Structure 1
């Protein structure tokens, strides 16, 4: 059984660990994995109110961050532990955020590291690649397109 729970300040370090583990393969593939930088980048932008834990059978297995902007939602982070992949949890998170955006009639924007498996994942859920920035692909999802 999966559920979402608001993050607490004490969760920040564990979330940085999950992010580091999840990003390592993709960043290593492009020669840019630096565990300290990955952790610090997350912790420096950690906003408690935007962060939800992903629980599976009462265990924290990941998290996501949705930032509300004037004209869109930014799905800024979605990471799962390796042990929680292929359980449908990521899809459940994205569908949850799409539901929120649909009710507000605003798009969702996100970025995915080029050559990451996340690119196919987001495309399979109706996101369209709209731009490239450095090492990332930029995606959007519009309620009218679903």
Structure 2
């Protein structure tokens, strides 16, 4: 049903538009939506080597994610996981999360990420076994470890 495709530099603009569509409501909820800031932040973290498109046969590209190794080792950082609003709650995010966790298990890595406060993404990550480890002004920081599954 879903597959992954590589990201190239020319994908920046459509990926930025998708990201804005996916997060605008959450950013507005906390009073932080600014299209120019969104562009700059995305541009700073745009690294195609660590990014993948989420693709369906019928709809084409419906989302993307960025998964980067952290410098402290044994940690993968999920920087982005965005789906077009019309493609949310249809299983693609869970499908991607399963693949990311498989990769983390195989390499013995934890996964960290941040989610905007008041975003529905918080519920999604908690349903997938991520634990809240820190609350910041605008974000919640989460962590998942393969060891968590062994204890459960």
User: With structure 1 as the length reference, what TM-score do the two structures score?
Assistant: 0.96
Structure 2 stretches lacking a partner, 5+ long: none
Q: Please state how far the C-alpha of 1:2 moved relative to its aligned partner.
A: 0.6
Task: Provide the C-alpha distance between the structure 1 equivalents of 2:43 and 2:111, rounded to a whole number of angstroms.
Answer: 23
Provide the aligned C-alpha RMSD in A: 1.0
Task: Provide the C-alpha distance between the structure 1 equivalents of 2:130 and 2:23, rounded to a whole number of angstroms.
Answer: 20
How many residues in Structure 1 have an aligned counterpart in Structure 2? 146
Q: Please state how far the C-alpha of 1:116 moved relative to its aligned partner.
A: 0.5
Task: Provide the C-alpha distance between the structure 2 equivalents of 1:30 and 1:141, rounded to a whole number of angstroms.
Answer: 25
Residue 139 (structure 2) aligns with? 136
Task: Provide the C-alpha distance between the structure 1 equivalents of 2:29 and 2:62, rounded to a whole number of angstroms.
Answer: 24
Residue 78 (structure 1) aligns with? 81
Q: Please state how far the C-alpha of 1:87 moved relative to its aligned partner.
A: 1.3
Q: Please state how far the C-alpha of 1:68 moved relative to its aligned partner.
A: 0.9
Residue 3 (structure 2) aligns with? 3
Residues 110 and 138, structure 1, Cα contact 8 Å, conserved in 2:
yes
Structure 1 stretches lacking a partner, 5+ long: none
Task: Provide the C-alpha distance between the structure 1 equivalents of 2:47 and 2:8, rounded to a whole number of angstroms.
Answer: 10
Residue 45 (structure 1) aligns with? 45
Residues 21 and 84, structure 2, Cα contact 8 Å, conserved in 1:
yes
Residue 108 (structure 1) aligns with? 111
Q: Which moved more, 1:101-110 or 1:54-63?
A: 54-63
CA deviations 1:5-43 (Å, max 9, x no partner) are 110111111111111111100110111101121122101
Task: Provide the C-alpha distance between the structure 1 equivalents of 2:147 and 2:41, rounded to a whole number of angstroms.
Answer: 34
Please identify runs of 4+ aligned residues in structure 1 that moved more than 4 A. none
Residue 119 (structure 1) aligns with? 122
Task: Provide the C-alpha distance between the structure 1 equivalents of 2:4 and 2:119, rounded to a whole number of angstroms.
Answer: 25
Q: Please state how far the C-alpha of 1:71 moved relative to its aligned partner.
A: 2.4
Task: Provide the C-alpha distance between the structure 1 equivalents of 2:21 and 2:130, rounded to a whole number of angstroms.
Answer: 25
User: With structure 2 as the length reference, what TM-score do the two structures score?
Assistant: 0.93
